[in-house]
A and B are shown apart, each in its own frame.
With several copies, the nearest count.
Chain A
């Protein structure tokens, strides 16, 4: 077993990437993720890699496109406004089917907003803030350890499917320290990157990294191919945690750091004889629909409550998953405010009391 170390979320993300074999990082400063580029600037040269501070988030994501197309494991990170700027680039990466890891340590918005933790980029993350029919795999860790594990898995998923993967954290996750362990992982069987542009010696077809299909029939074929890939991902890569769900009266849907607060609420509620269950999506896309359908079907369950640090974004996916079986409620804080356990519990009681 590897040694446990106490690390900041942001730094742990950087270290996990390096241990996953990521040698290239292109980024631009923005709070609250600045420790990621700083860590990479310090460490990458020592592993024969390269850190480049790009002139902007747009340049950074396009450098990622170049490095990914050249066959490298590569990463960028930013926070909300910076991620908005990357949307065109992300759409290109998805369109050209390149693997990479994008990290969004979310802060309050819209606009310049604030710098405190938020989850208000859920729509952007899961629906593609960019143009066209594409999807990113969205991983939402709730602890620093999980962030480390998901960074490593994320690179594998990206390479497996030739698709960008987004790690969605928030300022709290990025700034906090927790013990982490960098575990030995058994490597996933990954396809070779025969498609990469590495210089053409005639021993394989010429590599052309591209997302232009001027003939609409061709573009549709490409889109359908992408869709088939997304279907496979929806089948193979769904992850979630179902906690205390059996016989629960209310199911709370919550992800990331917010779900940790919900766990406190579950304990508090238990003391008062209220049974709350938690479904914590770990992949926000693909969304764990089936477990909702299943858990919510229980007789005991009166309602579902989505708790988010936003004004209601994941709640759409929860409603889609629940599909009218049970009422779905929402409670959220936003702008950098973090839900308090007692307020969440009050919501649950209101729901059970028929007041919500």
Chain B
């Protein structure tokens, strides 16, 4: 396995957390992993993205130049990263916020209405977990269980009550692409 993933969206959409959970889950499943965020001057409303690598062998460059998967949580992200995807790569588009189709025809595109699903679950903030659910379902990088386990570690003791909601979101995301 050598998954090279780009996750991108607005700051505030939980982009960084998605990537971290993925990397964490990969690590728990015994893979070599890395997570690399974009960073810049602190300003609200900016865009954010991160690179995640999950591999059977040690990670060389943590920078993803040719992605196996791109998750575009908003329109500018799709515009920016669609071309970074390698042939036959996986393109996950948050169709709730992206008003166009993929241009690439040589990739596997999925449209997930993550914000709408999250809304249905009663909390817009879990749109990222919906997408993550879809991703793990499609790639088998990690099980939803491991992702949840990762979430428990990342959230810390005070926020364990959020686990069930996130579990639901992950599952809904998975179902959406099954």
Contact = CB atoms under 8 A, between A and B. Distances in A.
A319 interface: no
Given A32-B39, A115-B39, A115-B41, A177 B61 contact: no
A158 B69 CA distance: 44
Contacts of B40: 115, 214
A257 B34 CA distance: 12
Interface residues of A, number: 23
Interface string B5-41: 0000000000000001001100100001111110111
Nearest to B33: A179
Contacts of B23: 6, 177
A176 interface: yes
A179 B37 CA distance: 15
Contacts of A261: 60-61, 63
B36 A172 contact: yes
A175 interface: yes
Nearest to B62: A176
A185 B89 CA distance: 43
Interface string A214-236: 10000000000000000000000
**Which interface class (under 10, 10 to 19, 20 to 34, 35 or more) fits B?**
10 to 19
Contacts, number: 59
Contact of A260 (B35, B60, B65): B60
A214 B40 CA distance: 8
Interface in A14-59: 31-32
Contacts of B34: 176-178
A341 to B, nearest CB: 7
Nearest to A263: B60
A338 B38 CA distance: 13
B132 to A, nearest CB: 16
Contacts of A175: 36-37, 39
A264 interface: yes
A270 to B, nearest CB: 13
Contacts of B36: 172, 175-177
Interface in A151-181: 171-172, 175-179
A338 B39 contact: no
A32 B37 CA distance: 12
A267 interface: yes
B41 A214 contact: yes
Contacts of A346: none
Interface string B44-71: 0000000000000001111101000000
Interface in A321-346: 338, 340-342
A172 B65 contact: no
Interface string A196-218: 00000000000000000010000
A43 B32 CA distance: 28
B60 A177 contact: no
Among B33, B40, B61, find the residue whose CB has the most chain A CB atoms closer than 10 A. B61
A193 interface: no
Contacts of A338: 63
A6 B29 CA distance: 13
Given A172-B36, A175-B36, A6 B27 contact: yes
Contacts of B24: 6
Nearest to A6: B24
B25 to A, nearest CB: 10
A177 B35 contact: yes
A178 B59 contact: yes
Interface string A247-275: 00000000001001101100100000000
16 contacts: A6-B27, A31-B39, A31-B41, A175-B39, A176-B37, A177-B20, A177-B35, A177-B36, A178-B33, A179-B27, A179-B33, A214-B40, A257-B62, A263-B60, A264-B60, A341-B65
Given A6-B20, A6-B35, A172-B62, 14 more contacts: A6-B33, A115-B39, A115-B40, A172-B36, A175-B37, A178-B59, A178-B62, A179-B27, A179-B33, A261-B61, A264-B61, A267-B60, A338-B63, A342-B65
